[in-house]
Structure 1
């Protein structure tokens, strides 16, 4: 079976859910079994091609759908595809789980075809109203049936994204083999080297991917990553000679890519002070501060 976990912004009867699922999965409505917490489990059609448990919720999302489709149901849509199809059929927005590392930032498919991200607060998570139900605090695009949600970019999509970091991974393996320290010893120089190199490589790879998946990059995170590059430079003299050489070689690989993806602009970063960000004075800035992405991603 394939399972789907979706949230809908409106309360729905079991009959409405059954008819919508039948349409989306292209099966007869008689082959869809929908039940809520009040349903007598002995009366359910457990051999149905599509099974669904519903739960009434409070707040900005009103119905939870726990859906199972048998392997014989074809085609088998992905979770985003099913959410979009249900949104069109139901006429209400449907939220679906994001990637594992983006808990609390589900995808959202609206009835008009809009697909965006939302920030979903669980019951009691809203600091202004701990008795409230689920709250959609923000969305990245306007959604008709969520008029109170702030329309804004969600920086957590960028902060918690996952990018491959093969240079960092290679350094970790090499440093651990040396036997003079461990990269998993939190707070140690080796841990700091691996962590900051990972942040530096992640930034460069995000730029190479045209700032995907979000399509932008928060300026405070950009400054934070340039500062991590500062720390890598300061760290090298503190390491044993062989470890320092390994770190220098790894950093150089990422630096070369950074140079390819940026343009020289000696004082561009000073404008970031208007956003309250802490950046170095020109006479203290290392060369990586004097190159900028073109165009700026924020």
Structure 2
């Protein structure tokens, strides 16, 4: 199942052609129909079917596309969106997985993929507004060109060290959401910062200063291992922290002037006693 949103006037005949090409089926095996049209005219045996609905606002069409199970090697949603954008010369939006409802990707006719923020009104026939884009998109002239912080906050960054730590904890420790749970959350935040940095900021291309600051502050809470931790969990924690700290040190450079501290905490914070991780910075700041 694919859910695409299109900005601009669309011709159904072009859509039939691009769907046939994208799914490697014949044009006769593609059914494109108005969602409010006569169902008796539908080709229910089609290999690929598409229902389209007219939208209001910055978007003109919603496409619900379905491929039968026998269709071999169907494209990903992003690839399909790029094919439709190139063929129709329109901007095509598709939802980002595990993101806030407003977080979408947009494929442009020029072959670019960018993040967009999409708002939908509460009316029965909602009005769609593309509020922001991360790169200029000429077909969306009213959208602000800006980075979208919620994209970074909602990234699904794997945290195997934290996962291993939690597996070593008795269930009642985490269920009670006591100090051990907060410690677990802090470890996850620190691991996400280090992993995101190590990946070259994959999935977003940047990291907002407030998120960077929050995740450095999370490391502050990991300086002392709670006495209540079971020995296996404590051992995993110490080993994991050593690994994360080593990676962070490798990916950063010394910052003796406290430039990063000044940016994140204010110039007055440069004289405070802070952990060593505050005194290192990436060669290029990610914002």
Q: Which TM class, normalised by the smaller chain length?
A: 0.7 to 0.9
Alignment match, 1:219: 209
RMSD: 2.7
Q: Deviations over 1:222-272 (max 9, x none)?
A: 111111111222x63x54265694444432332122112111113122331
Measured after TM superposition, the shift of residue 175 of structure 1 is 2.4
Offset, 1:12: 3.4
Are residue 143 (structure 1) and residue 137 (structure 2) matched? yes
2:70 counterpart of 1:80: no
- 1:278/1:228 CA distance change after superposition, 3 Å: farther
SS at match of 1:175: coil
Contact 2:106 2:116 in 1 (8 A): yes
- Relative to the length of structure 2, the TM-score reads 0.88
Cα distance change, pair 245–29 in 1 and its aligned pair in 2 (3 A): closer
d(CA) in 2 for partners of 1:62, 1:277 = 46
Whether the 8 Å contact between 2:4 and 2:94 is mirrored in structure 1 is: yes
Task: Give me the whole-angstrom Cα distance separating, in 1, the residues matched to 2:239 and 2:43.
Answer: 63
| SS of the residue 2:51 aligns to | strand
Cα offsets for 1:96-154 (capped at 9, x unmatched): 122234542221111122211111112239xxxx9961111111111111101111111
Q: Are 1:141 and 1:152, in contact at CA under 8 Å, matched by a contact in 2? A: yes
Q: Number of matched residues?
A: 284
Deviations 1:146-180 (A, max 9, x none): 10111111122211111221211121122227xxx
> Residue 277 of structure 2 corresponds to which residue in structure 1?
288
Match of 1:240 among 212, 228, 234: 228
Partners of 2:125 and 2:73 in 1: CA distance: 41
1:70-94, Cα deviation, whole Å (9 max, x unpaired): 3554552221111111111111111
CA contact (8 A) 1:9 1:92 kept: yes
> Aligned to 1:229, which of 219, 224, 227?
219
Aligned equivalents of 2:228 and 2:66: distance in 1? 56
Equivalent position of 1:104 in the other structure: 102
User: How far did 1:29 drift?
Assistant: 3.4
Distance across 2 between alignment mates of 1:279 and 1:101: 36
The corresponding residue for 2:183 is 193
CA 1:268–1:24 in 2, change beyond 3 Å: closer, same or farther? Answer: same
Aligned ranges for residues 112-127 of structure 1 at < 5 Å? Answer: 112-124=110-122
Specify the alignment match of 2:173 in structure 1.
182
2:262 equivalent in structure 1: 271
Change (3 A) 1:272 1:13: same
Whole-angstrom distance in 1 between the partners of 2:33 and 2:229:
66
Gaps of 5+ in 2: none
Aligned with residue 49 of structure 2, among 43, 48, 51: 51
